[in-house]
Amino acid sequence: MQSKRLFVISGCSGVGKGTVINEFMRRNSGDFILSVSCTTRNPRPNEIDGVNYFFISKDEFEKNIKEDKFLEYAQFAENYYGTKKKYVRQKMEEGYNVILEIDTQGALQVKDKMSDAVLIFIAPPSVEELEHRLRGRHTEDESTIQKRLAQVKIELERSLKYDYTVINDSVERAVEEIENIVRNNVTK
């Protein structure tokens, strides 16, 4: 009988984390589940409540913080994001290994509370390469790119506390490496 584990995956902005996680989930949907977080930000046009996020009000979020309902939470751009303890517990009881796709602040809170959680950081091959990718999108102006790069440096610093770092030099290879990490940790 395999023990159910909690995996936390984070990555720098622009690193292609979403693509890697989606491909991992496509290949491993049987006994893994991607956790649905709560957020106070507004849904984007194609997002569905309960599927992409549980969209809740700021008052409700803060009430849940006071009542210690979150395994972890973080605040960016004026919005809260958090993972409910109850949600994770329920999914594990249903027999799933749970994957949290959360930022580095939240990941380190999880590690403090659940020392057997496995933290995986998806990193770019180099900061220069990431800068090239961010510029290649042509969606952000120079000051936004500079802010993002400063944030990347903070995240790379925090990633030193992670259990594993996976370089996203190719989606296929990164997914295989995550599969190996996960396999080694669920059968321990």
Which residues make up the interface to ligand 5GP (CB under 6 A)?
A: 37, 41, 72-74, 81-83, 101-103, 105-106
Residue nearest to ligand 5GP according to CB distances in the complex: 106
Torsion, CA 22, CA 60, CA 69, CA 185, rounded to 10: 0
Whole-number Å distance between alpha carbons of 120 and 159? 8
Burial category of 44 from C-beta neighbours within 10 Å (exposed 0-12, middle 13-18, buried 19 and up)? exposed
Based on CB atoms, which residue is closest to ligand 5GP, 83 or 168? 83
- 164 forms beta bridges with 120
| In the complex, least distance from residue 185 CB atom to ligand 5GP, rounded to whole angstroms | 21
| In the complex, least distance from residue 94 CB atom to ligand 5GP, rounded to whole angstroms | 19
Based on CB atoms, which residue is closest to ligand 5GP, 36 or 188? 36
Based on CB atoms, which residue is closest to ligand 5GP, 103 or 177? 103
- Beta strands 79-84 and 37-39 are antiparallel
| In the complex, least distance from residue 181 CB atom to ligand 5GP, rounded to whole angstroms | 19
- Beta strands 79-84 and 164-167 are unpaired
| In the complex, least distance from residue 153 CB atom to ligand 5GP, rounded to whole angstroms | 16
